[in-house]
Structure 1
Amino acid sequence: MDPLKRLLKLIKDNDVQEIDFRFTEIGGKLKHITYDVAIIDSDTMTKGLMIDGSSFDGWKAINESDMGLIPDPTTAQMDPFLSVPTLTIICNIFEPVTGERYNRDPRAIAEKAENYVRSIGIADTVHVGAEPEFFVFDDVKYQADPYNTGFKLDSAELPINSDKSYEGGNLGHRIQTKAGYLSTPPEDSGQEMRSEMSAQIRSMGVTVEKHHHEVAPAQHEISTQFKTLVRSADEVQIFKYCVRNVAERYGKTATFMPKPVIGVNGSGMHVHLSLWKGDKPIFAGDEYAGLSESCLYYIGGIIKHAKALNAFTNPSTNSYKRLVPGYEAPVLLAYSARNRSAACRIPFGSNPEAKRVEVRFPDPAANPYLAFAAIQMAGLDGIRNKIDPGPAIDKDLYDLPLHEKEKISTVSLSLREALDSLHDDRAFLKAGGVFNDDFIDSYIKLKMEEVTLLETTPHPVEFQMYYS
């Protein structure tokens, strides 16, 4: 069905009273503005509506603040959480004077990356599947005042609550540290909540494959089906929106912060990628693990540019508290079939159509449009320049002897290092005009403010170590 006709049918069938226009800013946060449906006409849907771009970090200056939203009617879905019947539509950002797409719009960059692969003839379809993990807590308190800095988290699942008094008694089912993977109820207290999350995600047009408890207490995962690059990024934003709102309805709070708790596994966002030309999966071949030479070069590009990629795939200072050895976080830049300690894993699959690369170092703090686009550009650079990834490593990378481990490069170990790497290694991102210097420089400037704030703020652990 024609997207505009489908949109009109949704409005009529659901007695829509408001239309919610949504977009994603540089940092990855979903933003929105809601209009009465009676105000919206065909001109609005084709020519767009205006917002103040100076209110978003890294976008417009106050003297050039006008910015336009043009709705993408193919993304129209009913919002399952609002009592007033509301239709949601994802928007693209454009310059009102020139009518061109705004070069700092993350969705525009993702579209350019998708178009670039077609323009160079390597493939015509990019499939991306993401697995964002998240924590759900019952209570979260934090403060960052100069004289009062700290945080406190709580969940009924945490092992610290084994002796806590509850009305009706403490039933004793607690998930121990690092012991939560695939737990069943009653230890897994989130089963029904995740089922509700999955139902609402499905209601907004996203195909859910499975859900389960993750390794850490209070940690969860819901997996969705792969889609094309831009659509997959759209669906990550829908996913996060639904997870947070269902948790809120259950009187809980969900976070995609990569490492909220020391000593337990952090939350990753493993990203699966494959390239197709027509009906041919170009990652399938007769090389290592049934891969093609092109796929190995694609992996070579990701490994070569990983430190710069970290600026987009691991864009928070907290990200680097997850990227440490010992918690299934892939710190070492290697690839392997089925080895979950490698930065790039080749998931098992006997069918050539299932051949794909799983990039394991990204985390859910990432802006999905930027992360997926950057990974894709690194992989394509590998194919174009035939970058050899070296031999695969099928050993447990955490248990390698020191003399072997020292030969393997690592991801960036801090956001500062990632941003410095992006500053120096950016040419691969600029191929085909997908990223440009204006965006990269503004992104680095924006993220360095976060680095500076953390580096200049005294930490509670420093009092423990140094106060006396």
Structure 2
Amino acid sequence: MGSTFIQRHGLWTAEQQEQADRIAAQVTEQGLRQVRVAWGDQHGILRGKTLEAGHFQSVLRNGKDFQTATLIFDTTNNPAVPPFAADGFGDPRMTGLPDGVLVPDPSTFRVLPWLDRTGWVLCNLHYRSGEVVPFDTRGILQSQLSQLSNEGYGFVAGIELEFYITKLEDPCLSFESSGYPPDPPRVTAVSHGFQYLTENRGDEITGILDILRDNVVALGLPLATIEDEWGPGQTEFTFDVMEGLRAADSAILLRSAIKQLCRRNGYHATFMSRPALPNAFSSGWHLHQSLSSADVENTFAGGADEVLSDTGRHWMGGLLEHARSCSLLSTPTVNGYKRYLPDSFAPDRIAWAEENRGALVRVAGGRGDENTHLENRVGEPAANPYLYLASQVISGRDGLRNKLDPGPSADEPYLTEAERLPGSLEEAVQLFTSSSLLRAELGDPFVEYLSTVKGSEVKRFNAAVTDWEQREYFEVY
């Protein structure tokens, strides 16, 4: 019997081989009907296929064919380039949009609790040669974490994701409503809101929150808190700290699970940062982070005199130095830039401060506190988890390498003299494209690729006639 695709190309560690053996037995013992093989695309949206259990046993060793055509789509599946001229990204292997191979990562396997005997596993996208597709964002984060490990550190992340839960009134599923993009669903509020962190407002939607909580815990995700935010139905889920790759994997699964569970129960969840709902507050993604080493659990903690160690300060220096050029990775939508407003609990400029939620980077903790770490408040909840975390590792590694100094703390972050964050996705694309660090770390093909895909989104936005323009000009001119 010949070697399998995964064996032939050496795509698994010995530990993953053992995990795959256990999964194969679990599928049989638990009588699973089917398994979803999932891949996080360039936008951090899960794509994939649902396989019969018997077929999955073969796929577990050989991978599953999958169209690389999915790589050329913007958020609404508009091709960013002519479909059969995809070699314009600088990788001739993409010419003609050949099939790739989804290779499961056995460490991510789990049973989905809201479905009947259905498994789920995350994959990386490879070419048939066995090479990783350079546009696979999970692979990009894995590469960055591997380089960081070679430098003696492990990346630890804590996730805080905000989102809206709304009551689904009309999904707008007519053929006339479909298109690129389709009409958004019509929704109503599920609670009154505007009573931040109150028990009563959260209790108003405990029915759906209990469903979300029970399923998230059943998935094995380390849920810490469920919090009532400001807007009606605006909610935040926070998690215990996780190793970097697991944190990103958890975020991409969490978003998909929440959207599926809400839809199944007559609700619509959105991770759009600033939805066009009356009196809605923006939602953010606050990313807590620190580094571990072989002999120190948290290398960021300072001593009695300094809130941060030199390692923590240099890492933060890198985050600040490259915040503008990394904005495309932390805030990848047109809408996300409408969150950066003064006095909004979201940053609008490049500054840090101790225990101050107006700053881009907040130092959480204090002198002599061994749990002191950094909280980056720049991200939007729609960000691709792999690229958002990779941006932190790329920037932080550069900060360590060059011993970057973050400068003094900003006691008034919205008044301090500092560079502003980009004001638009268009500006963010330009900054991303011109970054020599990102080109060195991600490679020219990926930089050209992502800037082309997101640039297509910008062009469509600029070409659209908005409600604001209609109100502003239609009558007066």
CA distance in 2, matches of 1:39, 1:153: 40
Relative distance call for 1:16 and 1:302 in structure 2 (3 A) is same
Q: 3-state SS of the aligned residue for 2:320? A: helix
Partners of 1:139 and 1:155 within 8 A in 2: no
Q: Unaligned stretches of 5+ in structure 1?
A: 158-173
Q: How does 1:317-332 map to 2 (within 5 A)?
A: 317-332=334-349
Q: 3-state SS of the aligned residue for 2:291? A: strand
* 1:268 maps onto 2:284 in alignment: yes
CA distance in 2, matches of 1:15, 1:223: 33
2:327 corresponds to: 310
Deviations 1:365-400 (A, max 9, x none): 1100011001111111111111111101123x33x3
Partners of 1:287 and 1:293 within 8 A in 2: no
Relative distance call for 1:287 and 1:436 in structure 2 (3 A) is farther
Runs (4 or more) in structure 1 with deviation over 3 Å come to 58-62, 139-146, 148-153, 261-264, 286-289, 349-353
CA RMSD of aligned residues (A): 2.4
* 1:413 maps onto 2:423 in alignment: yes
2:158 corresponds to: 129
Deviations 1:287-315 (A, max 9, x none): 87521112111111111111111101000
Relative distance call for 1:33 and 1:314 in structure 2 (3 A) is same
Q: 3-state SS of the aligned residue for 1:308? A: coil
Q: How does 1:1-40 map to 2 (within 5 A)?
A: 2-40=18-56
Name the TM-score, length of structure 1 as normaliser: 0.86
Query: 1:9 deviation in Å?
Result: 4.1
When the two structures are aligned, how many residues end up with a matched partner? 433
* 1:89 maps onto 2:121 in alignment: yes
Which of residues 202, 206, 215 in structure 2 aligns to 1:191? 206
Farther-moved stretch of structure 1 (292-301 vs 188-197): 188-197
Which of residues 69, 78, 83 in structure 1 aligns to 2:102? 69
Relative distance call for 1:256 and 1:144 in structure 2 (3 A) is same
Which of residues 451, 464, 469 in structure 2 aligns to 1:457? 464
- Letter of the aligned partner of 1:73 in structure 2? P
Deviations 1:259-289 (A, max 9, x none): 0036542110001111111140211123875
Q: 3-state SS of the aligned residue for 2:290? A: strand
2:452 corresponds to: 445
1:167 corresponds to: none
CA distance in 1, matches of 2:301, 2:439: 28
- Letter of the aligned partner of 2:145 in structure 1? E
Farther-moved stretch of structure 1 (259-268 vs 235-244): 259-268
Farther-moved stretch of structure 1 (298-307 vs 58-67): 58-67
Farther-moved stretch of structure 1 (184-193 vs 444-453): 184-193
Partners of 1:247 and 1:253 within 8 A in 2: yes
Relative distance call for 1:186 and 1:361 in structure 2 (3 A) is closer
Partners of 2:306 and 2:367 within 8 A in 1: no
Which of residues 75, 96, 112 in structure 1 aligns to 2:143? 112
Deviations 1:78-113 (A, max 9, x none): 012223x111111111110x2111111011001001
Partners of 1:71 and 1:90 within 8 A in 2: yes
Which of residues 152, 155, 161 in structure 1 aligns to 2:189? 155
CA distance in 1, matches of 2:62, 2:304: 50
Partners of 2:302 and 2:367 within 8 A in 1: no
Name the TM-score, length of structure 2 as normaliser: 0.85
Deviations 1:219-240 (A, max 9, x none): 0011112211111110001111
Partners of 1:271 and 1:359 within 8 A in 2: yes
CA distance in 2, matches of 1:53, 1:34: 17
Partners of 2:167 and 2:268 within 8 A in 1: yes
CA distance in 2, matches of 1:269, 1:383: 24
Relative distance call for 1:250 and 1:152 in structure 2 (3 A) is closer
CA distance in 2, matches of 1:117, 1:16: 38
1:428 corresponds to: 437
Query: 1:144 deviation in Å?
Result: 9.7
- Letter of the aligned partner of 1:80 in structure 2? P
Relative distance call for 1:296 and 1:350 in structure 2 (3 A) is closer
Partners of 1:144 and 1:150 within 8 A in 2: no
Partners of 2:324 and 2:422 within 8 A in 1: yes
Q: 3-state SS of the aligned residue for 1:22? A: strand
Q: 3-state SS of the aligned residue for 2:114? A: coil
Partners of 2:19 and 2:107 within 8 A in 1: yes
CA distance in 2, matches of 1:120, 1:300: 18
- Letter of the aligned partner of 1:324 in structure 2? L
Query: 1:360 deviation in Å?
Result: 0.2
